[in-house]
């Protein structure tokens, strides 16, 4: 049945007044997700001009998917695709409306497959929320299952998200096209209609139509291939385990592969373009070893029969953990023994370790909503170091963990930082939290917790957590409960450490892990612990460390800090839980020195008052090996953070340095390797102020390579304010306009920022005409109606009027002052 037939049937049915009243009733939000009273007043209008029956960004919970039967036919010549999805639904509340996601696609058919027969569904769309409403003329009854069939068509995306096209050149210069997916976080809806939120887990049975010259791979192995009329083939894949939509993946390409099996018989394959297949051996060996390690560490078998790793020529993220089909940038997977460096080997190993850790932590057990993204990413980042330290000890991966904590602290010391677990609602907010706080800070606080409760208790707690919540969704509390359960029963073995608490003054029996960790996940920032030793008495205080002179921004923060320390009298690692703003710790005896945050296992900085720093300096001068390399590195880090050069001094130095080719190149190398984000930010601006036009051109072209694409708007606007670069910035904006509005999304503040920032200093009629000529040539779809363009016209007009009125007087005054100064010098 076509969509036209569906709509005609539906229009006829709506002539019935009782049915119309019933549908209006169904348009009210379900009691399963009570709306905000203010939101309830708002009526959203669908793209067809009719009221849309749901007014929340999050989907209602009246129904949930059980199984998707998905058929996809990508055309790599016309660069579009068609598909049909059959979704089995469980109804939780009586309803006549099914709300799900779809983005930038045409719905060609919509049917309800009920036990009573096939019924048409009326389709309403609300594009701002990427939502479809399917309106049924029969009541869907609580407790029953139904099926919905949707036909759809769309264009293969030219971005890096959804179902997108990619290409590469062979050595002979031929262009090869492929299609691949990237669904995290909210882009499965751009590939097929679905309930695109992580809590809506379901099973997927996927079929892909392709040409014989291509192959298709997906999350599960192929069970059969069927020949179709016209010479096409259809691959049928086995049904997946229960999982979230963002983990679905498929690729249609001409890739080749190499394979091996793990100790338990899981087939591992690495896919790459044919001419690079000889660069896959290292990744294959690494993946086999890592999967074996994780099965042993988590004590849970990998649940799928295969694990593919695919190197995609065009890939924005470093890698993606799709269950059974992880995808990577080519540089993150391919290793050439003759040309790749040891640092390449380390980077590839860590990325594979990260994605395979997700197969358990993130895929098997998934956060309920994106506010707890850190449960996925922080843990996977943490497991990079735990796993690689065992599987590849020659890489000395432990040496690099501190760098991740330093990077996180750099971001986390800014007023604009956010809690590890932070409220997010819309897709833009979700994308923004894929940052150093979620990844690196998440890893660092997990490392701190592991060290405090002991590695043995931590591992047992993690195993219990994964077993208890397999194929389910969780919040942070569930992890803390699992770790609290075991922390009281597991004691350290083979290492000297003593736990102290203020309440008992002696060895602790148990820890309230949630009470501790909530202070690290629900508030932004980290503490600076100040230590003052007076005889046997150690006075402790804590405050938020923040790079600002505004004290109000540091008020109201309090952490439960798992302190660790050693002293000149004992190398035994002792522990003290600092729960209050100030506290006093009593040592068994007086000591020459005390060092807190042993091996920098804790996510906090330490300042020593009185003679504390002098005592440590004296120790380092006479016998620095008493402290580990991590201890020494943390001391250097803390000192430099506490006595940093003023920002204006370093900015001036960088700006002067960028005026010469040698200085610019030096800054570029420092920018590329620096771990200090604030320093990198100043370097970025200084290089954009350079008078060297060739360097400026190189700088904007490095977007997405050395410079993050997210930094491009700032760099472009800075160059536009450079007397030597304003024309370059304008030319770049015009030449790359269509790419920029796709990457940064038309109508967003970043697009407006670039438009206004690049043009607002223009003050001649010639430039105004040039600006109007360009923006006037745009269509509504490419931005002609944006408010920022009209604002630009008005601003340049004001500049011209000001210059006409005041420039002659200003020039005369300057000429007079210049002449007067010359006569005085003579």
Neighbours of 206 (CB within 10 A): 24
Catalytic residue of the set 109, 125, 184, 355:
355
Instruction: List the one residue out of 582, 402, 375, 388 whose CA is nearest residue 465.
Output: 375
Distance (Å, whole) CA 693 – CA 715: 14
Q: Is 275 tagged catalytic?
A: no
3-state class of 216 per DSSP?
strand
Contacts of 645 (CB under 8 A, 6+ apart): none
Question: Is 377 a known ligand-binding residue?
Answer: yes
User: In the chain, what is the greatest distance between 2 CA atoms, to the nearest angstrom?
Assistant: 104
DSSP 358-393: HTTBTTTEEESSGGGHHHHHHHHHHHHHHHHHHH-G
With residue 308 as reference, give the H or E element that holds it: strand 306-312
Side-chain-side CA neighbours of 131 within 13 Å: the count stands at 25
CB 168 within 8 A of CB 273: yes
Distance (Å, whole) CA 263 – CA 251: 27
CA-CA-CA-CA torsion sign (752, 754, 756, 759): negative
Distance (Å, whole) CA 738 – CA 757: 18
Q: How far apart, in Å, do the first and last CA atoms of the chain sit?
A: 95
With residue 295 as reference, give the H or E element that holds it: helix 281-298
Distance (Å, whole) CA 417 – CA 410: 10
Distance (Å, whole) CA 777 – CA 558: 56
Instruction: List the one residue out of 646, 667, 448 whose CA is nearest residue 547.
Output: 646
DSSP 73-95: EEETTTTEEEEEEEEEEEESS-E
Instruction: List the one residue out of 465, 443, 449 whose CA is nearest residue 300.
Output: 465
DSSP class of residue 711 equals G
CB 779 within 8 A of CB 773: no
Instruction: List the one residue out of 10, 1, 25, 8 whose CA is nearest residue 96.
Output: 25
3-state class of 257 per DSSP?
strand
Instruction: List the one residue out of 824, 715, 738, 736 whose CA is nearest residue 784.
Output: 738
Q: How many helices (H) and strands (E) does the chain have?
A: 25, 32
Side-chain-side CA neighbours of 685 within 13 Å: the count stands at 15
Contacts of 283 (CB under 8 A, 6+ apart): 270, 309, 333, 334, 335, 348, 352
DSSP class of residue 239 equals P
Question: Is 236 a known ligand-binding residue?
Answer: no
Distances (CA, A) of 235 to 223, 227, 271, 316, 495: 8, 9, 17, 27, 55
Side-chain-side CA neighbours of 683 within 13 Å: the count stands at 21
3-state class of 201 per DSSP?
coil
CA angle (218, 129, 183) in 5-degree steps:
20
Question: Is 820 a known ligand-binding residue?
Answer: no
DSSP class of residue 437 equals I
Distance (Å, whole) CA 98 – CA 106: 17
Distance (Å, whole) CA 339 – CA 172: 21
Distance (Å, whole) CA 286 – CA 266: 14
Distance (Å, whole) CA 616 – CA 250: 57
Q: In terms of C-beta density within 10 A (0-12 exposed, 13-18 middle, 19 or more buried), how is residue 676 classed?
A: middle
Q: In terms of C-beta density within 10 A (0-12 exposed, 13-18 middle, 19 or more buried), how is residue 316 classed?
A: middle
| Binding-site annotation, residues | 354, 358, 377
Going by the annotation, the residues of the binding site for Zn(2+) are 354, 358, 377
Catalytic residues: 355
């Amino acid at each position: 049945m076509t969509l036209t037939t569906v709509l005609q049937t539906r229009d006829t049915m709506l002539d019935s007044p009782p049915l119309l009243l019933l549908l209006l009733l169904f348009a009210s939000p379900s009691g399963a997700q009570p709306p905000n009273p203010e939101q309830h007043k708002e009526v959203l209008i669908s793209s067809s001009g009719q009221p849309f029956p749901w007014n929340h960004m999050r989907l209602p919970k009246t129904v949930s998917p059980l199984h998707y039967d998905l058929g996809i036919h990508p055309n790599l010549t016309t660069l579009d695709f068609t598909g049909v999805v059959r979704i089995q639904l469980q109804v939780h509340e009586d309803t006549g409306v099914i709300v799900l996601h779809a983005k930038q696609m045409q719905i060609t058919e919509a049917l309800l497959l009920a036990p009573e027969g096939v019924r048409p569904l009326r389709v309403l769309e609300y594009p701002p929320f990427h939502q479809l409403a399917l309106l049924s003329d029969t009541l869907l009854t609580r407790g029953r299952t139904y099926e919905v069939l949707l036909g759809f068509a769309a264009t293969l995306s030219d971005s890096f998200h959804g179902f997108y096209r990619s290409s590469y050149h062979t050595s002979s210069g031929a262009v090869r096209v492929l299609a691949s997916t990237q669904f995290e976080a909210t882009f499965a809806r751009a590939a097929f209609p679905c309930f695109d939120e992580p809590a809506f887990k379901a099973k997927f049975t996927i079929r892909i139509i392709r040409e014989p010259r291509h192959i298709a791979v997906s999350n599960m192995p192929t069970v059969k291939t069927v020949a179709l009329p016209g010479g096409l083939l259809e691959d049928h894949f086995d049904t997946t385990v229960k999982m979230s939509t963002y983990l679905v993946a498929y690729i249609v390409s001409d890739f080749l592969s190499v394979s091996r099996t793990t100790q338990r018989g899981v087939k591992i394959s690495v896919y790459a373009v044919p001419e690079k297949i000889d660069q896959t051996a290292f990744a294959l060996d690494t993946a086999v070893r890592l999967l074996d390690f994780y099965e042993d560490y988590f004590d849970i078998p990998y649940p799928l029969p295969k694990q593919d790793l695919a190197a995609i020529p065009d890939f924005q993220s470093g890698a993606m953990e799709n269950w059974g089909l992880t995808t990577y940038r080519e540089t993150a997977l391919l290793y050439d023994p003759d040309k790749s460096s040891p640092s390449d080997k380390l980077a590839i190993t860590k990325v594979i370790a990260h994605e395979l850790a997700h197969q358990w932590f993130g895929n098997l057990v998934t956060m309920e909503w994106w506010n707890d993204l850190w449960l996925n990413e922080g843990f996977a980042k943490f497991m990079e170091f735990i796993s690689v330290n065992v599987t590849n000890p020659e890489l000395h991966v432990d040496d690099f963990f501190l760098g991740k904590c330093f990077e996180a602290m750099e971001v986390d010391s800014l007023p604009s930082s956010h809690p590890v677990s932070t409220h997010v609602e819309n897709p833009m907010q979700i994308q923004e939290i894929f940052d150093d706080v979620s990844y690196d800070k998440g890893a660092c606080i997990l490392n701190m917790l592991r060290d405090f409760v002991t590695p043995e208790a931590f591992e047992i707690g993690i195993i219990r957590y994964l077993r208890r919540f397999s194929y389910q969704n969780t919040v942070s509390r569930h992890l803390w409960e699992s770790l609290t359960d075991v922390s009281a029963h597991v004691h350290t073995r083979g290492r000297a450490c003593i736990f102290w608490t203020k309440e008992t003054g002696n060895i602790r029996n148990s820890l309230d892990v949630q009470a501790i960790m909530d202070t690290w996940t629900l508030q932004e920032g980290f503490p600076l612990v100040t230590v003052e030793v007076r005889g046997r008495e150690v006075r402790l205080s804590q405050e938020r460390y923040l790079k600002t002179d505004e004290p109000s921004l540091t008020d109201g923060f309090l952490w439960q800090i798992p302190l660790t320390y050693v002293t000149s009298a004992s190398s035994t690692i002792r522990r003290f839980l600092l729960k209050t703003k100030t506290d006093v710790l009593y040592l068994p005896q007086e000591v020459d020195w005390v060092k807190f945050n042993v091996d920098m296992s804790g996510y906090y900085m330490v300042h020593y008052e009185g003679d504390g720093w002098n005592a440590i300096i004296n120790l380092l001068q006479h016998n620095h090996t008493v402290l580990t390399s991590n201890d020494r590195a943390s001391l250097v880090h803390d000192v430099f953070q506490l006595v940093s050069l003023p920002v204006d001094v370093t900015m001036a130095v960088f700006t002067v340095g960028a005026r010469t080719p040698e200085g610019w190149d030096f800054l570029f190398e420092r920018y590329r390797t620096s771990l200090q984000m604030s320093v990198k930010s100043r370097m970025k601006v200084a290089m954009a102020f350079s008078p060297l036009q060739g360097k400026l051109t190189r700088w904007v072209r490095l977007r997405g390579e050395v410079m993050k694409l997210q930094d491009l708007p700032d760099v472009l606007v800075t160059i536009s304010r450079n007397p030597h670069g304003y024309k370059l910035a304008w030319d770049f904006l015009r030449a790359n306009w269509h790419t920029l509005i796709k990457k940064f999304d038309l109508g967003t503040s970043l697009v407006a920022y670039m438009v206004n920032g690049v043009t607002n200093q223009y003050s001649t009629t010639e430039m105004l005409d040039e600006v109007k000529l360009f923006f006037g040539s745009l269509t509504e779809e490419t931005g002609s109606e944006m408010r920022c363009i009209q604002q630009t016209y008005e601003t340049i007009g004001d500049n011209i009027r000001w210059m006409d009125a005041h420039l002659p007087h200003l020039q005369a005054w300057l000429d007079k002052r210049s002449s007067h100064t010359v006569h005085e010098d003579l």
